[in-house]
Amino acid sequence: MKYEGMMIRPPSETDSLLLQVTVGCSHNRCPFCPTYKGERFRIKTFAETEEDIREAGTG
Protein backbone atom coordinates (compact mmCIF):
# COMPACT_ATOMS: atom_id res chain seq x y z
CA MET A 1 0.00 0.00 0.00
CA LYS A 2 1.33 3.40 -0.92
CA TYR A 3 0.14 5.85 1.72
CA GLU A 4 0.70 9.53 0.96
CA GLY A 5 1.01 12.24 3.59
CA MET A 6 0.55 12.06 7.34
CA MET A 7 -1.24 9.00 8.70
CA ILE A 8 -3.64 9.75 11.55
CA ARG A 9 -5.50 7.01 13.36
CA PRO A 10 -5.93 5.74 16.93
CA PRO A 11 -3.32 3.31 18.34
CA SER A 12 -6.00 0.65 18.73
CA GLU A 13 -6.20 0.44 14.92
CA THR A 14 -2.47 0.11 14.32
CA ASP A 15 -2.74 -3.40 12.92
CA SER A 16 -5.81 -2.84 10.78
CA LEU A 17 -5.71 -2.39 7.02
CA LEU A 18 -5.84 1.26 6.01
CA LEU A 19 -7.03 1.79 2.46
CA GLN A 20 -6.34 5.37 1.38
CA VAL A 21 -8.71 6.49 -1.35
CA THR A 22 -8.15 10.24 -0.93
CA VAL A 23 -5.09 12.34 -0.16
CA GLY A 24 -5.33 15.49 1.96
CA CYS A 25 -8.51 17.18 3.13
CA SER A 26 -11.31 18.34 0.82
CA HIS A 27 -12.17 21.16 3.25
CA ASN A 28 -8.73 22.19 4.54
CA ARG A 29 -10.00 25.46 6.04
CA CYS A 30 -10.31 24.84 9.77
CA PRO A 31 -8.16 27.58 11.33
CA PHE A 32 -6.84 25.35 14.13
CA CYS A 33 -5.75 22.47 11.88
CA PRO A 34 -2.33 22.40 10.19
CA THR A 35 -2.55 18.72 9.21
CA TYR A 36 -2.93 19.06 5.45
CA LYS A 37 -1.88 22.67 4.90
CA GLY A 38 0.02 22.98 1.65
CA GLU A 39 -1.23 19.62 0.44
CA ARG A 40 -3.53 19.50 -2.53
CA PHE A 41 -6.61 17.31 -2.07
CA ARG A 42 -7.10 14.56 -4.58
CA ILE A 43 -9.05 11.37 -5.03
CA LYS A 44 -6.81 8.44 -5.87
CA THR A 45 -7.43 6.78 -9.17
CA PHE A 46 -9.33 3.53 -9.42
CA ALA A 47 -6.14 1.84 -10.64
CA GLU A 48 -4.21 2.98 -7.54
CA THR A 49 -6.94 1.75 -5.22
CA GLU A 50 -7.26 -1.52 -7.09
CA GLU A 51 -3.50 -2.06 -6.78
CA ASP A 52 -3.61 -1.36 -3.03
CA ILE A 53 -6.42 -3.89 -2.59
CA ARG A 54 -4.51 -6.45 -4.62
CA GLU A 55 -1.37 -5.90 -2.50
CA ALA A 56 -3.35 -6.19 0.72
CA GLY A 57 -4.71 -9.51 -0.46
CA THR A 58 -1.26 -10.96 -1.04
CA GLY A 59 0.35 -9.67 2.16
Q: Does 9 bind ligand SF4 (CB under 6 A)?
A: no
Binding mask 24-53 for ligand SF4 (x = CB under 6 A): -x-xx-x--x-xx-----------------
Q: Which residue blocks in 1-59 are alpha helix, DSSP H?
A: 46-58
Spatial separation of the C-alpha atoms in residues 46 and 31, rounded to whole Å: 32
CB of 40 to ligand SF4, least distance (A): 13
Instruction: Give ∠ CA 51-8-28 in degrees, rounded to 5.
Output: 95
**Residues found near ligand SF4 in the complex (CB under 6 A):** 25, 27-28, 30, 33, 35-36
